[in-house]
Amino acid sequence: MSEQSPTTPGESSPGASAPSTAPDSPPSSARASGPTPGPTPGPRPGAPSPAALARKVPSRPAPGAERAVRASDPTEWGRVDDSGAVYVRTADGERQVGSWQAGSPEEGLAHFGLRFDDLVAEVTLLEARLQSHPQDAGKTRASAETLAEQVPTAAAVGDLDSLAARLTAVIERSGVVESEARRHKEEERAAAIARKEALAVEAEEIGESSTQWKAAGDRLREILDEWKTIRGIDRKTDDALWKRFSKAREAFNRRRGSHFAELDRNRASVKRVKEELVERAESISGSTDWNDTATAFRRLMDEWKAAGRAPREADDALWKRFKAAQDTFFDARHAAAAERDAEFEGNATAKESLLAEYASRIDPGKNLAAARSALRELQTRWEEIGKVPRDKMGQLEGRIRALEKSVSDAADVEWRRTDPEAKARAAQFWVRVEDFEEQAAKAEAAGKAKDAEKARTQAAQWREWAEAAEKAVDTR
């Protein structure tokens, strides 16, 4: 076997012939008479896969270089005989996959091992695609079946039996994955239909009855944005749901348009009402009848609120006039109140002076008649002074009421002490004392000692009562 650089399919080297695709090679004498032939692989499986096209087959490493990681070791699964024939071992026995004349047997096995690596890459790609794209399980199965048909005759050296088993697993698994993908797709479709159905129902409720015009309009826009993100519904069902949503939105827009058109018509009449209210407010803004006019302004404000909205510019202008009339009146009332408060403060000071002046003069314990006279003077001057601030009224009134009560209590005591009826009732007790003492004397003179003792006892009892009655009258 001559030492020449190996070739790969589609390449040529000086003095080397194109690789043969026939499993049998010509006799060695025939090969020796012509140019040294390149490797002669067996039939290649189908068109190269995307993975094989994307993968650049590395050039044969120089002697002693580190070998790349392989899908399997070709020396475990094949051999090259002395004639250059390349064989692979499978469960069905050994079969020739090509011939190698371009280098050493190890290089030939490595060349056909790379072809096996291409097949492994395709199978790995199918396994990954089945996992990542379950919706394409049918296409993946078809590709696996095509590749499985090519593996038994593939011109490659490696563990072809395990590769075939992996393809079988892909084919069997694809049916389950396809069923699961179909079920998942139906579930997603049902969920999408249910969500759009719920959105359509919500839109219909808004379109039929909602009067929250801004909030409802915003919600319909949100529903539309979400609607656009929902996928996976068949065209017929999707069109039917869209018609419901679109109809509901149009109904809402019609009602909203009618509402605001009616508002525009009403605002003209509201403007006239508010013009009249402004005129009434301006007519009473100069009044000094503070209580009644304040009540009238509160009623005008209630009417203003109940009238509704006029066109914006007109409403703002009318409100400025109405507010100005209010301010004119209430500012004047506040000024008058401030003046009145200042007057009331002076009155409070004057009443405090009066209390200080008369406190020492009103002493009913010393002279009740003089205290009564001084109190009458105080009351007369008190009323002449007038009102005081509300926060001082209670304290000042309490002080004069205390003086009035002291005089009143002293007069009550004096009356009870000099009451003729009370004195007459006390004298009656002494009359009974005298009666019982007289009875005691008569009984004793008659020799009735027991009756005399009894009469004296009763006389003593009535004497105690008479003395208590007199004391009560004197201390009233």
pLDDT at residue 455 above 80? yes
The pLDDT mean for the chain works out to 80
Distance CA 228, CA 410 (A): 97
Compute how many other C-beta atoms are within 10 angstroms of the C-beta atom of residue 361: 15
Q: What is the pLDDT of residue 463?
A: 85
Rounded to an integer, the average pLDDT of 347-375 is: 83
Interval 36-88: pLDDT, tens: 334 444 444 444 443 443 343 344 444 433 344 566 789 899 999 989 999 99
pLDDT at residue 194 above 50? yes
pLDDT at residue 362 above 70? yes
Q: Residue 422: pLDDT band by 50, 70, 90 thresholds?
A: low
Q: Does an H or E element contain 317, and which?
A: helix 312-358
Rounded to an integer, the average pLDDT of 192-202 is: 94
Rounded to an integer, the average pLDDT of 430-451 is: 85
Cα–Cα nearest to 183, from 237, 240, 137:
137
Of 220-229, 236-245, 394-403, where does mean pLDDT reach its minimum?
394-403
Task: Answer for the pair 203, 250: CB distance below 8 angstroms, yes or no.
Answer: no
pLDDT at residue 350 above 80? yes
Tokens representing 299 are 């009623």
Q: What is the pLDDT of residue 45?
A: 43
Return the percent helix, strand and coil in the chain, to nearest 5. 70, 5, 25
How is the beta sheet containing 85-90 ordered, strand by strand?
Answer: 40-41, 93-99, 85-90, 78-80
Rounded to an integer, the average pLDDT of 220-229 is: 94
Task: Write out the DSSP string of 181-244.
Answer: HHHHHHHHHHHHHHHHHHHHHHHHHHHHH---HHHHHHHHHHHHHHHHH-----HHHHHHHHHH
Q: Residue 314: pLDDT band by 50, 70, 90 thresholds?
A: confident
Rounded to an integer, the average pLDDT of 322-337 is: 90
Q: What pTM was estimated for this model as a whole?
A: 0.39
254-263, 322-331, 342-351, range with greatest mean pLDDT:
322-331
Q: What is the pLDDT of residue 420?
A: 65
Task: Answer for the pair 407, 362: CB distance below 8 angstroms, yes or no.
Answer: yes
- Name which residue leads in pLDDT, 3 or 261: 261
pLDDT at residue 23 above 70? no
Compute how many other C-beta atoms are within 10 angstroms of the C-beta atom of residue 93: 8
